Structure 1
Amino acid sequence: MSRLIKTVLLLLVLALVAWLGWRVYRTVKAKSQQPRGRPPVVIPVEVTPPGRATLRDVAVFTGSLVGKSRLTIAPRVGGRLEKLLVDVGDPVRRGDLVAQVDDEEFAQQVERAKAELAVARASVQECAANLNAVRREFDRIQTLREKQIASESEHDQVQAQLEVQQARCQVAEAQVVQKAAALKEAEIRLSYTRIHAVWEGGDETRFVGERFADQAALLTANTPVLSLLDISTLTAVVYAIERDYARIQAGQSVTVTTDAYPGRTFEGRVTRIAPQLQETSRQARVEVDIENPGLALKPGMFVRAAIEFEARADVWTVPVSALARRNGQQGVFVVDADGRNVHYVALELGVSEGDLIEVIRPVPDGPVVVMGQHLLDDGMTVRVVAPESPAAAGAGGDPAGAAAAGGAPGGMR
């Protein structure tokens, strides 16, 4: 029995020694296959020091220009368009004749009304003569009646004739008034054939924006012929999202630019804000009135309207390109004082303008990585390289020198 136990124990010891030898062999072999003296991973990066600048909180809205007012010119009577005296782009002064409809029919109506008025006036004269004759006959019969020569029936008959003639004269005089009114109406309709540009208020001169009809076209009453635009002041119609809507107020100054005039700005002011947002786009209509000196701007142009909500003077900034998100927070990678390692700093950010963003707290205590940060983690080793473009050369180079140039504080805040 003891011999059997010894045999089992010997086998177990041999198996344990064999397993340990196999593990040692695998470990030695794995180490022998690794390259000797492999250096740690070094990430090349570009850096720049934090700086100080004045940033403006500016929102830019896009939209189109419309005329301050738009007047549609249309005839008040139908007919053939005989003359069209202006065309697209022509200036028109208040009261100018711009078109004329064929007036032959209306001129004939005026002549007929004049003739009818003349007939009515002649009827009045005839009636007055007849009335005088009947009145004299009535006076004669009245005298004979007083002398008991004329009978009562003769007197009544002449009196009735007098009353009838007086009524006829009243009708004739009323017809004169009626025919005079008809003549006035015909003259007014004739004047409608001459189409004048008439408007209330605004500038004395407007411009033809569109032509809707050609000469010799057959028009009906109120058919549009021309549109006149007042472009001395234009309105930029833009739309604001919910985030900016609450910050926009009537009277705010607006700087307007357009691709038609690169580098040139126009000044405007917010005049109207819609009291509601559109459900489909969640945007609200905002109107900006813009003075148009020299009439350079035209309705329909695409514009950008910039509204400044806040200006932050002399604040700490870093480039927007330096930002990296780690663990759900925005921050930057800062190069350590030795220039070899980086550490991640989460930042509280403020206003951004262009390629700079405000750092509220803490201010980085060294140069920040602006290229290559997407490859970094906290504590990694880096190698600072100079930027490729000459314009950015001052931001690269030696990290210690960059930190000195940036004037960053010695610690975090």
Structure 2
Amino acid sequence: MTKKIIYSILAVGVLIVLWFVFGSDSSEETDLFIDVGKGDFEVIVTTTGELQAKNSIRIRGPRGAQTIQVWNMNIQSLVPEGTMVEKGDLVAELDRSDVMTRMQNAQLEVQQAESQLEKAQLDSSLTLSQARDELENLRFQLEENRIAVEQSVYESPAVQRQNQIELERTERRLAQEEKNYQTRILQEEAKIREIEVTLEQERNTLSRIMEVMNGFTILAPENGMVVYTRNWRGQKTTTGSTINAFDPVVAELPDFSSMESITYVNEVDIQKIKTGQTVDIGLDAVPEKELTGVVTLVANIGEQRPDTHSKVFEVKIEVNESDTTLRPAMTTSNDILVENIEDALFIPLESVHTFDSTDVVFKRDGIQMVMQQIVMGAKNENDVVILEGLHEDDQVLISMPSDISGMEKVLLPDEVLEKYRQAEDPEGDRPQTREVEMAGAPGR
């Protein structure tokens, strides 16, 4: 019985002591300190991308449509995306209404040219026939003049002279008409050739139109899976879409053995991205699958993507693994490792605060707390590297304390700050950072 009383008294005493230690301060906020971390520090840029085949065969519409003044063509029908096709299978049909009108007009032009040629040939035959008749009549007249000259030997000299003049006039006229006949032949031949050239041009135009129109039925060039392409707005080309005559691509047959993720990095982070950097790739459709990749291309010029307010730069990431589950247009998450710092000191970003343009932390100093100036290095989404101001065994406050009046402020030496200023601006062109004024800050 006595032991029970003693134990009870001791338990009550412990409770009283605990209340005095903890209970009396329960109304005050408990400060949360964390240790300064040390180890490998990874700077990662995370982006969202979309898979596409690195190599693919483009399924194109008719070539040369612009030569017949057809600039845009509407897709009347297109097989569903993901359809497996064999070489020669139907993939798409384009709207022929516009080109049919052009073909009918071309047929009329051909018919008109053929009629003109036939008429010219008939006119030429008639004209040359009349010319030949006239030449024949002149030959008869020449023969008559010769007979008259022969019979006039018994006539007076005047009559003989007159008959001789008529003979010579007829000879000259016949010679002239023979030359004119040859010229007329050349003229008629040239006229017919001109019409024949026009006819040939009209026939070629009709042939080109028919050839282009035949291309409006689009067949698969090889075996594979049909994947829709995207236009410059990022919209898929599908039934009802319009394709351009200069790049009439309606779909693609991708090579699944080599894939890449196409992503876009904002202008703030693009300076960190370099070719050759390694990437951890995740698939939204298959969260348990982990892939790796490498940055193969970083665009030099930014672009304004739809639904974005800032410029972004295209980045291509080649996927190292070959997997049958990978499909174009799958959404990827890309963790691009831009920097790996060994044996770095780092703390959470939320533990860093700014006073008078100076970065500081609240550090435990024995049983007290001080405001410590720091120099920061690389950052990632959660932490920041500390170059100056902290040591491995230090502890810092996560949140800002409620009262900092009278708190000791510890500044870094000017030579330390100057070293980092020069490292950031070796040319000395950038303006100097405004020095911090902390009244009563003792030197350390």
Q: TM-score, normalised by structure 1?
A: 0.52
Residue in structure 1 matched with residue 433 of structure 2 by the alignment: none
Partner of 2:191: 171
Cα distance in 2 for residues equivalent to 1:329 and 1:228: 54
1:253 aligns with 2:273: no
1:296 to 327, 343, 347: 327
Equivalent residue for 1:331, pick from 361, 371, 381 = 361
Percent identity between the two aligned chains: 11
Q: CA deviation at 1:184?
A: 1.2
Q: Report the Cα distance in structure 2 between the residues aligned to 1:316 and 1:131, rounded to whole angstroms.
A: 106
- Aligned residues of 1:254 and 1:268 also touching (Cα < 8 A): yes
Task: Report the aligned-residue RMSD.
Answer: 6.0
Which one has the bigger strand percentage? 1
- Distance in 2 between the 1:358 and 1:104 partners? 69
Q: In structure 2, what residue type is equivalent to 1:191?
A: E
1:316 corresponds to which of 338, 342, 345: 345
SS at match of 2:237: strand
In the alignment, what sits opposite 1:395?
none
Q: CA offsets per residue over residues 172-194 of structure 1, 9 Å max, x none?
A: 23222221221111222233333
Q: Output the CA distance in 2 between the equivalents of 1:361 and 1:373.
A: 20
Q: Match for residue 186 of structure 1? A: 206
Supply the distance in 2 between the matched residues of 1:171 and 1:77 (Cα, whole angstroms).
29
Answer yes or no: is 1:359 the counterpart of 2:389. no
Match of residue 41 from structure 2: 55
Paired residues of 2:359 and 2:375 also in contact (CA < 8 A) = no
Matches within 5 A, 1:141-290: 148=146, 151-152=170-171, 153-157=173-177, 159-196=179-216, 207-208=228-229, 209-211=236-238, 213=240, 227-228=250-251, 235-241=262-268, 244=269, 247-248=271-272, 251=275, 253=277, 255=279, 259-260=284-285, 262=287, 264=290, 267-274=294-301, 284-290=311-317
Offset from partner CA, 1:1-23 (integer Å, 9 cap, x none)? xxxxxxxxxxxxxxxxxxxxxxx
| Structure 1 position 317, deviation (Å) | 3.5
Instruction: Flag the 1:373–1:77 CA change in 2: closer, same or farther, 3 A.
Output: closer
Match of 1:120 in 2: 117
Contact map agreement 1:61 1:239 (CA 8 A) in 2: no
2:189 aligned partner, one-letter code: C
- Trace 1:341-352 onto structure 2 (pairs within 5 A): 341-344=367-370, 346=372, 347-352=374-379
- Per-residue deviation, 1:101: 1.2
Query: Distance in 1 between the 2:404 and 2:51 partners?
Result: 50
Preserved CA contact (<8 Å) 2:75 2:239: no
Which deviates more from structure 2 when the two are superposed, residues 250-259 or residues 132-141?
A: 132-141
Q: Secondary structure at the match of 1:193?
A: helix
Q: 1:226 and 1:365, CA in 2 relative to 1: closer, same or farther beyond 3 A? A: closer
TM-score (norm 2): 0.49
Residues 51 and 273 of structure 1, relative CA distance in 2, 3 Å threshold = same
Q: Distance in 2 between matches of 1:188 and 1:55?
A: 65
Name the residue aligned to 2:94: 99
Asked if 2 retains the 8 angstrom alpha-carbon contact of 1:274 and 1:284, the reply is no
- Is contact 1:50–1:367 with CA below 8 Å preserved after alignment? yes
Query: Which whole-Å deviations, capped at 9, do the CAs of 1:221-256 have from their partners, x for residues lacking one?
Result: 97x998547977664333223xx46x3466463746
Q: Which runs of 5+ in 1 are unaligned?
A: 1-36, 199-203, 381-412
Which moves more between the two structures, 264-273 or 250-259? 250-259
Following superposition of structure 1 onto structure 2, how do residues 124-143 of structure 1 map, counting pairs within 5 Å? 124=121, 127=124
- Matched residues in 2 for 1:367 and 1:321: separation? 16
Cα distance, 1:82–1:348 mapped onto 2, change above 3 Å: closer
Q: Give the direction of change, closer, same or farther, for the CA distance of 1:370–1:348 in structure 2 (3 Å limit).
A: same
- C-alpha contact 2:376 2:387 (8 A) present in aligned 1: yes
Deviations, residues 27-51 of structure 1 (Å, cap 9, x unaligned): xxxxxxxxxx977859756655444
